[in-house]
Amino acid sequence: MATLTPPSGTSLASDAATPEASRQVEGHFRNHAPVTRADFRKTLRIMWNMIFHKPRNTRPSSAVPVQALTRAALIAAPNHSVWRLGHSTLLLKLRDKFWITDPVFAERASPVQWAGPKRFHQPPISLEELPPIEAVILSHDHYDHLDYQAVLKLADKARYFLTPLGVGDTLIKWGIDASKVRQLDWWQSTDVDGMQFVATPSQHFSGRGLFDGNSTLWASWVMIDGDTRVFFSGDSGYFDGFKRIGEQYGPFDLTLMETGAYNVEWPHVHMQPEETLQAHIDLKGRWLLPIHNGTFDLSMHAWHEPFDRILALAWERSVSIATPQMGEAFNIVQPLRGGAWWLGVENESDPVTAQNA
């Protein structure tokens, strides 16, 4: 592949052994390893089961606990703090500045707000109450990761938007100032106020409509603040890229890893908990914080199952794992596990056995 010309504000990783960047064929991005996509018949079967055969326990029947946050409390919090705001939305405080991943504050992860997966809980803080954001870090353009209204409300509050290739073009079309947008290919990096961000590969797909599949890139992210290193998985199936990222940038003090919305029907684009744990090990992670769970109903498994499985696996493998409540602070340099808060949430019994979860 020809050497890429980095976008403004970015650079290619310096190590000559770094794997190749993304591949684009006829305007569509591809994963490095071939990924089998569901054919029309399989897609209809998946949709039918999701609509008509979903177990009741894919949603909690009582309130998910949320620790409310205020701007004053965030500003007073120590550096190296991390808060889960829901799903894959995390707020990080590093270098006395705030950084947010995949901000989704909408009531539904859907193109419309009258149908589609509905939130289990409200965000611990509103968009309006958030302090100024140094950068919004986006992994891809799916509705449970890229929220149109949230982006518009962050337009003036955020200094930068860091995106994979093509996602930034979407933001600019929505009215975000182009000077705020930095689009990166895989293995490209950019510095923001002394923080280094590297867009690293993931194994997934993109698209917000019927005809734009894979027209934008998907990515995971490496965040480096001096001696502190954080990995944000975005969405991904398990692949050998995690080991490459770990060799290039590990060890990581904290990995924020997708653990939820998995199913054997889509094994290449989301990880089972066993794969999440192995990816964390591949990355040379010290602490694992499972994300992509606890907010939306996106598969056939019980809503609490990702927590149950990843916690049991981590204990079995002696992996340090943190499970904070939504809005509860986790400190990277003074880590605490948090409690199994989901055990206190009531769950409806379900006579229907989830198939292929």
Give the rounded distance of the alpha carbon of 159 from its chain centre: 20
Structure confidence at residue 174 (pLDDT): 98
- Is the separation of the CB atoms in 170 and 216 below 8 Å? yes
Statement: residue 351 has pLDDT above 50: no
Q: 251: cis peptide before it, omega within 30°? A: yes
Hey, what domains does the chain have and what are their CATH numbers?
A: 66-342 (3.60.15.10)
- Is the separation of the CB atoms in 269 and 235 below 8 Å? yes
CA–CA separation, 105 and 96 (whole Å): 24
Residue showing tokens 């955020």: 158
Structure confidence at residue 348 (pLDDT): 66
- Tell which residue, 350, 352, 347, has the closest CA to residue 61: 347
User: Which pLDDT tens digit goes with each residue over 85-101?
Assistant: 999 999 999 999 999 99
Structure confidence at residue 251 (pLDDT): 98
Residue showing tokens 């950019």: 190
| Residue 154 backbone phi and psi in degrees, to 5 | -90, -5
- 238: helix, coil or strand? coil
Q: Which of 28-37, 103-112, 247-256 has the lowest mean pLDDT?
A: 28-37
User: Which pLDDT tens digit goes with each residue over 252-287?
Assistant: 999 999 999 999 999 999 999 999 999 999 999 999
Helix (DSSP H) and strand (DSSP E) numbers for the chain: 7, 17
Structure tokens at 147: 């929220």
Cα three-residue angle 67-231-71, rounded to 5 degrees: 30
Q: 3 falls in which pLDDT band (50, 70, 90)?
A: very low
- Tell which residue, 119, 136, 204, has the closest CA to residue 170: 136
- Tell which residue, 174, 211, 37, 192, has the closest CA to residue 100: 192
- Tell which residue, 160, 219, 164, 166, has the closest CA to residue 192: 160
Statement: residue 45 has pLDDT above 80: no
Q: 245 falls in which pLDDT band (50, 70, 90)?
A: very high
| Residue 167 backbone phi and psi in degrees, to 5 | -65, -35
Q: What is the pTM (predicted TM-score) of this model?
A: 0.93
| Residue 230 backbone phi and psi in degrees, to 5 | -125, 140
User: Which pLDDT tens digit goes with each residue over 105-127?
Assistant: 999 999 999 999 999 999 999 99
Statement: residue 1 has pLDDT above 60: no
